């Protein structure tokens, strides 16, 4: 099974983007969004970005494309948490501005690397959610989390960088297993 087939299996319905995507968005990201799409169901409390909201913006000197975020909070615009860096195509995570009275200082809270691409993000997040379901049902053990780690290490090794998002999620699991 290839990664696109696995993403479809893990997420169920994917909604391809039918609107025009800005030319500043790298071709591989545009193609993924229009040919494959983003999941219909949310990731945790985050909605995937669609339509008019799927347009580049600049933050902290980076041009980014919103991928997922929280719906409007406290009358602020959509708060993006996961964005694709238009220079690299990598997925990044910012601390949400919605939890701060003013935006966090990027020097103190730089964006965390998540995955090398939108495709890898959906694959990893889908595998993570499936793993959590298995562990919650009592059907998994430490080998289940180790398999997730090895798969991620093989597919997208930078995603396990010490300051990365998935390293944090993996460390959370290790703590809860202790």
Distance CA 43, CA 91 (A): 15
In terms of pTM, does the model score above 0.95? no
Candidates 7, 8, 11, 35; CA nearest to 21 is: 35
* CA dihedral sign of residues 27, 30, 34, 39: positive
Predicted pLDDT at 111:
76
Q: How far is CA 159 from the centre of its chain?
A: 11
Residue-wise pLDDT tens digits, 33-67 = 999 999 999 998 888 989 888 888 887 788 888 89
């Amino acid at each position: 099974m290839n990664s696109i087939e696995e993403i479809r299996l893990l997420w169920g319905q994917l909604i391809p983007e039918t609107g025009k995507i800005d030319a500043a968005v790298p071709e591989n990201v545009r193609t993924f969004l229009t040919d494959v799409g983003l999941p219909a169901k949310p990731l945790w409390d985050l909605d995937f970005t669609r339509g008019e909201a799927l347009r580049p913006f600049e933050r902290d000197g980076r041009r980014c494309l919103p991928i997922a975020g929280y719906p409007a909070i406290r009358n602020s615009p959509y708060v993006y948490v996961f964005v694709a860096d238009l220079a690299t195509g990598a997925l990044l995570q910012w601390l949400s501005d919605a939890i701060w009275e003013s935006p966090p200082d990027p020097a103190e809270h730089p964006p965390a690397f998540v995955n090398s691409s939108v495709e890898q993000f959906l694959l990893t997040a889908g595998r993570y959610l499936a793993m959590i379901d298995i562990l919650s049902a009592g059907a998994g053990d430490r080998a289940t989390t180790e398999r997730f780690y090895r798969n991620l290490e093989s597919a997208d090794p930078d995603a396990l960088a010490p300051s990365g998002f998935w390293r944090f999620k993996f460390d959370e699991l290790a703590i809860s297993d202790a």
